[in-house]
Amino acid sequence: MPENTSDDSDEYIPVDIPPAPHRPGGPDSLRIGDALEPMADSAWLVPAPSTPPGEPASSPGPGRGFPGRVSLRGWAGLAAVVAVAVGVVVGAQGPRPAATHAGAGGSTTPSSASAAAGACAGLSGRVVTDRGGDRSTVPGVIATFEDAYYTQRNAEAAVRVVAPESGITQQALAAGIDSIPVGTVHCVAITPVTANTATVHLVELHADGKRVDYLQVINTISGPNGSLLISHVQEQG
């Protein structure tokens, strides 16, 4: 220990140190210099499900998960995405017409008025639809998948537009389709973001009025004869 070098002539003068000012909110209150926690990215907002009063918000039920990369929920959203991608561009304002089909010739055909009014309500995007489309385009291949999944309820037709490397099998798709109540309709809003990728908002509307929304990013790759195949579905939010 070092020696004390002070001599006896040094005087000890006590100093009163005032207490730190009170900070409202306690020790956890924010001070200058404190780091702020980053806020979560709110790029996607999902509309509240249209469930009857008194019922809890809808959510995917058990048994909807696919083994592998993509969940059944993701594929359900994908189906909606496909529909949206294939649909025609929706007008900016005014009542939304029935969901439309974007075929190779660009013609539009209205679907059921009740289905369009319910499932497509509140959707916005470059394309909004509940029909299949041109498989050589990103919106079209997505819409084709969703049409096979929800409207046709045909796993064999749905798997035709899915790339083998996705890890999704016809058996898994069939199980997902069986988990969806008969009479369910869908609608998708799709906005391409790159040459092979699109953001998708899929709505699944059950016959009892229960609505489930899915937000996804869907990737495609080149397939045979100039067509595209769905290679990956990522859920957002």
Q: Has residue 27 been placed in a domain?
A: no
Q: How many Å apart are CA 227 and CA 63, to the nearest integer?
A: 31
CA–CA distance, 83 with 106 (Å, rounded to integer): 14
64 domain residue, yes or no: no
Total domains present in the chain: 1
In a domain, 120, yes or no: yes
**Each residue of 145-165: pLDDT tens digit?**
999 999 999 999 999 999 999
**CATH number reported for the structural domain that contains residue 173 in this entry:** 3.10.450
Higher pLDDT, 203 or 58: 203
**Residue 236: its pLDDT value, please?**
85
Percentage helix, strand, coil for the chain under 3-state DSSP, each rounded to 5: 25, 15, 60
pTM: 0.57
User: DSSP secondary-structure letter at 138?
Assistant: H
The answer, yes or no, to whether residue 128 has pLDDT greater than 80, is yes
From 18-27, 61-70, 171-180, 206-215, the region with the lowest mean pLDDT: 61-70
Neighbours of 177 (CB within 10 A): 21
Quote the domain boundaries for residue 183.
72-235
| 170 assigned to some structural domain | yes
- Look up residue 75 and give its two tokens: 């594929």
In a domain, 187, yes or no: yes
